[in-house]
Structures are given as structure tokens and as C-alpha cells.
Chain A
Amino acid sequence: MINPRNPLWRYSSLGVLMVVFFAFLYIPIIVLVVLSFNQNQTATIWTNFSFDWYKTVLENPNILRAAQNSLIVAAVSTVASTVFATMAALGMAGKTFKAQNAFNGLVGLPLLVPEIVTAVASLLFFLAIGLELGLTTVIIAHVVFCIPFAYLPIRARLEGLDPKLLEAASDLYARPWQAFARVTLPLLLPGIVSGAMLAFITSMDDFVITFFVAGAGATTLPVYIFGMIRTGISPEVNAISTLLFAASLVIVMLSFFISQKK
């Protein structure tokens, strides 16, 4: 492979670009995190290191309820979307059949369509069928757009599975369901876990669709934060934003390390 030390593969100007690039990417986040610990209210003058804002945030009942809603929605959506996605991936595996292309298109739909279009369409749909906006509508919408995120890693993992392994299992007297339980499922598990984590993050982070289909009392954390920002900058926003960022970060790293392990 390439030896980066070889001058043939050295592009010196790129090094500078990379530094600028990562600085651009991370400085705003770092600023946010740092300021959240700033005692001072004005958010630009640094006075003291303080956890005050975190305390305020964690004692705010509205925030806590929003966080609880987010977790409930994310948990239910993750479980449901992962289960359906796993089933779908298993159904799609193997010899090609006619409906496969249609399903691929269907599964890609939530990824390709702009979120606002999905949000509006969902809102109108719920209105038309008379479903009241609330936690249920949020969960339904989340399950739908989490399915592709769970599906892709599982599908990828399934495709990497050697079909000869299943033949070997059959050759060694395993019935189809035994082969599934003892060979397919264990090997698929990293993909399923990865998919579940992606679904969870996507659900936790979603704003636009939730904004449109959440009723009163079904506010999730991103929607609540948006409301806070709308009313003005305050250090509490910094704190809660940092918390949300930290949560996403933890899950991303976990998902990453799990997918690295073969």
C-alpha cells in the first residue's frame, strides 16, 4: 500500500488545509462547550469556571420532561426500527427478486427527501386521519425515518456473510432455524447493534420533523432547545446544548468502536 513517508505521496499544502479544516469544524463546538462553564452571563467574557448553568438546567422541570420525552421516543423508535430493519435485511438477502428494487427505493426515501417535506406531509397526514398530535405521532414519524439508518449497517453486515457458512451448518445437521440462531444471528449482531445506535442518535437529534408533529406536552429536547434559542441567548442553552452534544458524542464513539471490532 502507500507509504505516506514516500515523497511521491506527500502533498505539503494539504497538511495546512487539514489543520484549517479541523479547526473550522471543531472551534465552534469547543467555544460552546467552554462557554457553558463560564460563570458570567454575557457569554463572551470569561470570569470563572462554574457548573451553575448545568445546575439550573438539570433543575428545570421543563427540560427534564423534554429530555424524558426524547428518551422515550428514542428508545421506542430504536427498538421498533431496528427490529423491522433486521427483518427487512433478512428478507432482502439472498437471490434477487422483483420487489427488491422497489424496496430499495422505499428505504432510501427518508434519506433523500428533505426533512421539511416529510414533516409537512406527516403533519397533513395526521390531520387528515384525525390523529391527535402528541407523543404517538412523534414516535410513528421517528420509527419511519429511523428504519433506513438501522437498515444500512445491518444490510452491509449481512452481505459480508459467507453463504457457505450456512451451507456448512446445514451439512452439519442444523435445521434452518437452528442455522439462523447459531450462525447468522451471532454474526449479524455487531451490525444490529451499530444500526440500533445510529437509529438512536438520529431519533435523539431530530428537530424538524418532531417540530411539526409534536403536540403540546410532547416536546423533545431539540425542540425545547430551539424554543430557548428563539427567545434569546442564555447560558442555560449553552449548558443543555453541551449535554446533548456530549450524549451524541458518547454514542458515536461507542458505535464506532463496536463496528471496528470484527
Chain B
Amino acid sequence: MKRSRMLGRYALISPAAMLIFVFMLLPMLLMALMSWLEPGQFGGVKWGNYTPEAYVKFLFDRDLSDVLLFDTDYLSIFSRSFQLALVTTVLTLLVAFPVAFYIALQTPKHRTWLMLLITIPFWTNLLVRTYAWILLLRNGGLIDSSLHSLGVTATPINLMYTPIAVQIGLIYAFLPFMVLPIYTSLEKLDWRLLEAAYDLYANRWQTMRRIVIPLAAPGMVAGCILVFVPALGTFFIPELLGGAKTLMIGNLIQQQFGVSRNWPFGAALSFALLAVVLTFMLIYALRFRGKGTLTQ
């Protein structure tokens, strides 16, 4: 009787599991494999020959006589992406934590409404939200003309297509992603612990530092991952706000499947990105075993 029970359970899980396995896991392995192929003439790949060319291309450039020259172009794109993602993570953390803390202090009724207000941007179209910033940032856009009419600036300032624009867009996009997990952690906080701390002569800042932050740590870590990983691989935010001058990994990858027609290289870049993300995941899983806030 127990056997058929288990079979039944496996049967229930298998459609979902098979779908994800076949259409997500397998493709990623395939992607790793295909990064070792040659690019086709009009896009696509040429099956047959295996070459590490894609990975070579990452660090080196071949000049006309086929000599390898160390090329930092792609490395700089990677480092810029890391930088932008890191700054995004730190800044969102600094803002999201007090916000989440404030909401957790409110009465349950207020908390519900405030969380609804945060949930709305979280679930509405990211493309649309990013586009709104174009309206604000561009030449003649809202910020520019407001500053102009207020007399602060004389000439139009150039905000679009700069790293600043991308940074703003990233922070704007991912703020809710940081607030939600931190709030989840803080919501479970036993406020009597704070009362105990105050009773033992801790002031508000000390209590924050020694009690609240350590207890909210799982939520903060989860939030950092939820922000850093997508920010690292983001594609259309730098595309729309950064233009050709502020390429990130995402754009670079997309280019390979667009104008550059180097699919294996795109695959290699994707795989590299995946490897980086998986490494972070592994570190998280090993260090923070058992903290289930990530799946909230």
C-alpha cells in the first residue's frame, strides 16, 4: 500500500518536474555544450567542430596575423556589471531596511496597506516602469525641463545613456525585491526582545545593531541575492537607459544573438554568468542552510 502511495506522489510531481528539467535544466547544459561550437554564417551554430574560440574571445583578441592580444573590453563590461549590481544591492539594502522596519512597526491594518503599495510596483511590468524613467531623464524630459525652469541649470543636462541613468533604473527596478524579504523577516520579530534590550539599558541604536539586524539577517541576505543576481544579468534596463556607452553583460549577450551573430560566444557568456550565479548560490546554501526566507 505504501508503494502505490509513493508512486502516486511521484506521478503528481512529474509533469512540473519534467517540464522544468527538459526545458530549463537540459537547455542550460546544452548551452554550455554549444559554447564550444563555431558560429554559423548567418547566426546559429555549425555543428561538428569543437573549439574553445568563444572562451578565448573573452580574454583575447586575434589580430590580422592571428596572434592573441590580451583584450580588456569584455572584462571591463563584466566589471562594470559587477559594479552596478553591487552598488544597486548596497543602496537598495540601505533604503529597504528602514522602510521594512517602519512597516513592521505599524498596526496590522496599516501594514497590509503599506505592503500592498510596495507589492504593486513589484508585480507591474518592469519594462513600463523603466520606460517611465526615460520620460524623466532624457533631454527635454521632466527632470531636465524642471531644473531648467527653476533656473538651476542653463544648458540641458545629459542624463540619458549614462551609467548614472542605468544605476537609477536598476535601483528603481529592484527596490521592492529587497523590501519584501526583509519585511518578511522583521514581521516575525518578537518585539518583546527589543523591550528586554531597552530594559537592560540598551539605547535604540544599540538595540538595532545587536538585536534587530542580526535577527533580520536571513531576510537581508535573501534580499541581496534577489537583487544582485537579476541586476547582474539585466538586459533591457541598460539597453533602454544606457545605450551603447554603458554595456552590461546582458546587452553583450543579446548582441551576440543580434548584430554580432556569434551565438557560441553568446552561449559562453551566458554560461559564464550562470557559473557566477551558481557559485554565489552555493556559498549561500552552504553558509545559510535552513533559512527559508528565499522562497517567500
Contacts and interface: CB of A to CB of B under 8 A. Distances in A.
Complex A–B touching at CB under 8 A: yes
Contacts of A107: 16, 20
A14 B295 contact: no
Contact of A201 (B123, B229, B232): B123
B51 to A, nearest CB: 17
Contacts of B23: 122, 125, 140-141, 144
Interface stretch (A108-116, A163-171, A181-189): A108-116
A233 B140 CA distance: 12
Given A31-B135, A116-B253, A124-B27, A205 B277 contact: no
B126 A207 contact: yes
Contact of A14 (B102, B108, B124, B257): B102
A35 B135 contact: yes
Contact of B250 (A44, A116, A123): A116
A144 B236 contact: no
Interface in A1-33: 1-2, 4, 8-9, 11, 14-15, 17-18, 21-22, 24-26, 28-29, 31-32
Contacts of B145: 44
Q: Provide the main secondary structure of the chain A interface.
A: helix
Contacts of B124: 29, 205, 245, 248-249, 252
Contacts of B116: 253, 256
Interface in B29-68: 30-31, 34, 44-45
Given A118-B24, A128-B34, A97 B6 contact: yes
Contacts of A191: none
A51 interface: no
Contacts of B141: 44
A226 B132 contact: no
B78 interface: no
Contacts, number: 248
Given A208-B236, A225-B127, A122 B17 contact: no
A49 interface: no
Contact of B236 (A127, A207, A251): A207
B206 interface: no
A22 B135 contact: no
A88 interface: yes
B274 interface: yes
A94 B191 CA distance: 33
Q: Provide the main secondary structure of the chain B interface.
A: helix
A147 B14 CA distance: 13
Contacts of A252: 119-120, 123-124
Given A24-B172, A143-B19, A260-B112, A14 B98 contact: yes
Nearest to A246: B124
A67 interface: no
Given A1-B191, A42-B140, A94-B9, A244 B125 contact: yes
A25 B126 CA distance: 12
A120 B270 contact: yes
A135 interface: no
Interface in A94-146: 94, 97, 99, 103, 106-110, 112-118, 120-125, 127-128, 140-141, 143-145
A37 interface: no
8 shortest A-B CB distances, which residue pairs?
Answer: A114-B233, A91-B12, A125-B27, A28-B132, A121-B27, A91-B13, A88-B16, A248-B124
